[in-house]
Amino acid sequence: MTPEDAAALVAEIEEQERALVLPRFTHDDAWRLGCLLVELATERELPVTIDVRKASQQVFHAAREGTTSDNDSWVERKVRVVYRFGASSYLVGLRAAARGRDFNDAHQLPLQEYAAHGGAFPIRVAGVGIVGAAVVSGLAQGDDHALVVEALRAFAGQNV
Per-residue confidence in pLDDT tens, the chain, 160 aa: 777 887 889 999 999 999 999 999 999 999 999 999 999 999 999 999 999 999 999 999 999 999 999 999 999 999 999 999 999 999 999 999 888 899 988 999 999 999 999 999 999 999 999 999 999 999 999 999 999 999 999 999 875 4
Residue 29: Cβ-neighbour burial (10 angstroms; 0-12, 13-18, 19+): buried
Tell me if 49 sits within 8 A of 72, measured CB to CB: yes
Q: Among candidates 89, 91, 94, which has minimal Cα distance to 75? A: 89
pTM for this predicted structure = 0.94
Q: Among candidates 138, 137, 77, which has minimal Cα distance to 103? A: 77
Residue 105: Cβ-neighbour burial (10 angstroms; 0-12, 13-18, 19+): exposed
Q: Which fold has domain 3-158?
A: Beta-Lactamase (3.30.450)
Kindly give, in sequence order, each residue whose CB lies less than 8 Å from that of residue 75, ignoring residues fewer than 6 positions away. 49, 51, 119, 120, 135, 137
Domain map (residue ranges) of the chain: 3-158
Beta strands in 36-90 (DSSP E): 49-54, 57-63
